[in-house]
Structure 1
Amino acid sequence: MFAVCGAAFATWPARLPAVQGRLGLSTSEPATGLFGLAAGSVFALLGAGAVLTDWARSSSWPWWKRSIRSAASAAEAQHVP
């Protein structure tokens, strides 16, 4: 997903003059759109932190913690004198 977004964003400057000419855009209109993409990315990152925090608190998330705990308790059970 990140590779596709990165490739799309990286190829945008090369295609910008063609898009501007085809759509009849001024210089400020694509700049506003690029700023909107960057601002949207920042807000999405901030929102993703809150979503992941809520998801981490759910019962289905800490599967790896349960695995580590069960492995540790099995190791302790074998070393009890």
Structure 2
Amino acid sequence: MYRRTNKYQKNVSESYTNRSKNEQRLERSEKISPERVIPKLRRVIEITDYDTGQPIVHRIELRKCDRIDCYDAFVDGVL
């Protein structure tokens, strides 16, 4: 078995104490923070088109769906 140097042993013991401090800090922060509830309607985008002479407003609603990286997009109320 190889001998551990004093410097190495000091680094090992510091890493264990730092890890335990971080774990304790995370446990405290988890207890304090309340659970967030994400609303179904996430974003609304309104586009006003002036090309025809009269302004036409299109409304895009982005709603929560099953996946975390996607939205259900409703354009003028239609999916």
State TM-score, norm by structure 1: 0.37
Pick the structure with greater CA Rg. 2
Q: Which has the higher strand share?
A: 2
More relative contact order, 1 or 2 (CA 8 Å, 6+ apart): 2
Q: Which has the higher helix share?
A: 1
